[in-house]
């Protein structure tokens, strides 16, 4: 019998492109590193409500250049939405993250696939993630039946789901989040919070595992 898996929590919002990078890397490594990955849908607006960083032109230029390189390096089809300000600052992700929260409560086995499809919509194909039909389309593409998806959608405004999303977001803040993603590693009775998508080599060190880049060889064999 092998060692028990160590536990990692990934707090993320599909509005965050850097969350997508961490998500894919951890999904790729979860079996290689023998980790138990807990996906924790959170609301980035609740964490960054006082930050105006994303609205600055210089910051936007930097992020655009960054994303081009990260697309190649991580082998993830990520690209900027045309109307970035509208998508990020005006439309937001409340409905999408409530949907993922309800999904985590009702059908946790579908959480990875539906999260990925929502990122694909907003951060690859520049499609909407705020309208009910958009969310249903992502859920169906991920493999849910229309009945399942509709059932989840009907629960996104319930107190249970709203409170759960609020609690998860507050939990991220308690860990020290000032943005997303954060990865919280529970190793040998200790808790470590790592911010951003560029701490994976440090995470490997914490776990006593080998870092083989964002696309490990085992993944290359499947591509």
Indicate which residues carry an active-site annotation: 16
Angle at 127 between CA 183 and CA 117, to 5 degrees: 45
On the 0-12 / 13-18 / 19+ scale of CB atoms within 10 A, 10 is buried
Helix ranges (DSSP H) in the chain: 17-29, 44-47, 57-74, 84-85, 94-106, 111-123, 132-141, 146-153, 159-174, 200-207, 217-220
Do residues 60 and 29 lie in contact, with contact meaning Cβ atoms separated by under 8 Å?
no
Assign 3-class secondary structure to 134-163: HHHHHHHHCCCCHHHHHHHHCCCCCHHHHH
Of the CA atoms within 13 Å of residue 188, those in its CB half-sphere come to: 3
């Amino acid at each position: 019998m092998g060692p028990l898996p160590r536990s990692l929590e990934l707090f993320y919002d599909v509005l965050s492109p850097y969350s997508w990078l961490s998500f894919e890397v951890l999904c790729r490594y979860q079996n290689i590193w023998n980790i138990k990955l807990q996906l924790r849908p959170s609301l980035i607006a609740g964490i960054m409500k006082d930050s105006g960083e994303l609205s600055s032109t210089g910051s936007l230029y930097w992020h655009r250049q960054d994303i081009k390189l990260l697309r190649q390096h991580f082998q993830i089809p990520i690209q900027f939405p045309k109307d970035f300000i509208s998508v990020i600052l005006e439309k937001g992700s409340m409905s999408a993250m409530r949907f993922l929260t309800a999904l985590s409560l009702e059908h946790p086995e579908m959480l990875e696939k539906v999260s990925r499809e929502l990122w694909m919509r907003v951060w690859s194909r520049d499609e909407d993630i705020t309208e009910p039909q958009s969310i249903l389309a992502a859920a169906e593409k991920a493999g849910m039946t229309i009945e399942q998806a509709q059932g989840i959608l009907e629960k996104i405004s319930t107190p249970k789901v709203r409170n759960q999303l609020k609690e998860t977001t507050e939990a991220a803040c308690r860990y020290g989040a000032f943005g997303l993603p954060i990865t919280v590693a529970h190793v040998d009775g200790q808790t470590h919070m790592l911010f951003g998508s560029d701490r994976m080599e440090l995470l490997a060190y914490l776990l006593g595992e080998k870092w083989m880049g964002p696309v490990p060889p085992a993944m290359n064999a499947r591509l």
